[in-house]
Amino acid sequence: MTIDTRHGAPQFPSASSTITSSSRETMDAAIAELVAHKDDWLQTSVAARIALVETLIADFSEVAPRWVAASLQAKGLQEDSLYAGEEWLAGAWTLLHSLSQLKKALLDIQQDGHPHIPGPIKTRPDGQVTAQVFPWRSYDPVLFGGLKAEVWMQPGVTAETLSSTQAVNYQGSTQTGKVALVLGAGNVASIGPMDVLYKLFMDNQVVLFKANPVNAYLGPLLEESFQALIKPGYLRVVYGGAEEGTYLCQHPNIDEIHITGSDKTFDAIVFGPGPEGQARKAARQPLVTKRVTGELGNVSPVIVVPGPWSQKDLAYQAEHLASMLANNAGYNCNATRVIIQHKDWTQRQPLLQQLRQVLSKLPTRKAYYPGARQRYQAFLDAHPDADQYGTSDEQNLPWTLIADVDANQTDDICFTTEAFCSLFAETTLEAGNVVEYIERAVAFANEQLWGTLNITILVHPSSLKDSAIAAAIDQAIAQLRYGTIGINYWAGAGFVLGTTTWGAFPGHDIYAIQSGNDVVHNSLMFSRPQKSVLYGPFRGPLTPPWFTNQGKIARKLFPKLLRFEKAPSWLKMPSIIKTAILG
Q: Is the pLDDT assigned to residue 298 strictly greater than 70?
A: yes
> What residue numbers bound the domain in which 377 lies?
299-450
Give the largest CA-CA distance in the chain: 66
SS3 59: helix
Tell me the average pLDDT across 14-33: 93
Give the pLDDT band of residue 14 (cuts 50, 70, 90).
confident
Domain count, the chain: 1
- pLDDT tens, 267-291? 999 999 999 999 999 999 999 999 9
84 lies in some domain: no
335 lies in some domain: yes
Q: What is the pLDDT of residue 1?
A: 33
SS3 291: strand
Average pLDDT, the chain: 96
353 lies in some domain: yes
**248 φ, ψ (degrees, to nearest 5):** -70, -40
Q: Are 420 and 287 in contact (CB under 8 A)?
A: no
Tell me how far apart the alpha carbons of residues 441 and 449 are, in angstroms, rounded to a whole number.
11
What DSSP character marks residue 17? -
Tell me the average pLDDT across 540-549: 93
- DSSP secondary structure of 213-261: GGGGGGHHHHHHHTHHHHTTTSEEEE---HHHHHHHHT-TT--EEEEES
- pLDDT tens, 569-582? 999 999 999 999 98
Q: Are 118 and 134 in contact (CB under 8 A)?
A: yes
Is the peptide bond prior to 135 cis by the omega test (within 30 degrees of 0)? Answer: yes
CATH number for the domain that contains residue 434: 3.40.309.10
Tell me how far apart the alpha carbons of residues 464 and 551 are, in angstroms, rounded to a whole number.
31
Our measurement of the distance from residue 240's CA atom to the centroid of its chain's CA atoms, rounded to an integer in Å, reads 24
Q: Is the pLDDT assigned to residue 260 strictly greater than 70?
A: yes
38 lies in some domain: no
- pLDDT tens, 432-459? 999 999 999 999 999 999 999 999 999 9
The fraction of the chain above a pLDDT of 90, given in percent, is 94
The fraction of the chain above a pLDDT of 70, given in percent, is 99
397 lies in some domain: yes
Sign, CA dihedral 521-302-535-144, equals positive
Q: What is the pLDDT of residue 13?
A: 82
235 to 30, 189, 248: CA distances (angstroms): 9, 18, 15
Q: What is the pLDDT of residue 232?
A: 98
367 to 26, 80, 546: CA distances (angstroms): 33, 19, 20
Give the pLDDT band of residue 6 (cuts 50, 70, 90).
low
Q: Residue 209: beta bridge partners?
A: 182, 237
Tell me how far apart the alpha carbons of residues 190 and 274 are, in angstroms, rounded to a whole number.
31
187 lies in some domain: no
Residue 186: half-sphere exposure toward Cβ, Cα within 13 Å: 23
- DSSP secondary structure of 482-501: -SEEEESS-GGGHHHHSSSE
Q: Is the pLDDT assigned to residue 135 strictly greater than 70?
A: yes
Q: What is the pLDDT of residue 394?
A: 84
- pLDDT tens, 233-248? 999 999 999 999 999 9
**138 φ, ψ (degrees, to nearest 5):** -65, -25
Q: Is the pLDDT assigned to residue 427 strictly greater than 60?
A: yes
280 lies in some domain: no
Query: Considering only CA atoms, which of 302, 242, 247 is closest in space to residue 274?
Result: 242
Beta strands in 515-572 (DSSP E): 519-521, 529-535
Give the β-pairing of 129-134 and 121-123: antiparallel
Give the pLDDT band of residue 102 (cuts 50, 70, 90).
very high
Query: Considering only CA atoms, which of 378, 420, 376, 428 is closest in space to residue 403?
Result: 428
515 lies in some domain: no
Q: Is the pLDDT assigned to residue 3 strictly greater than 70?
A: no
Q: What is the pLDDT of residue 571?
A: 97
Give the pLDDT band of residue 393 (cuts 50, 70, 90).
confident
Q: What is the pLDDT of residue 2?
A: 39
Q: Is the pLDDT assigned to residue 207 strictly greater than 60?
A: yes
Give the 3-state DSSP-derived string for 407-465, with helices as H, strands as E and coil as C.
Answer: CCCCCCHHHHECCCCCEEEEEEECCCCHHHHHHHHHHHHHHCCCCCCEEEEECCHHHHC
Tell me the average pLDDT across 161-185: 93
- pLDDT tens, 310-354? 999 999 999 999 999 999 999 999 999 999 999 999 999 999 999
Tell me the average pLDDT across 413-421: 97
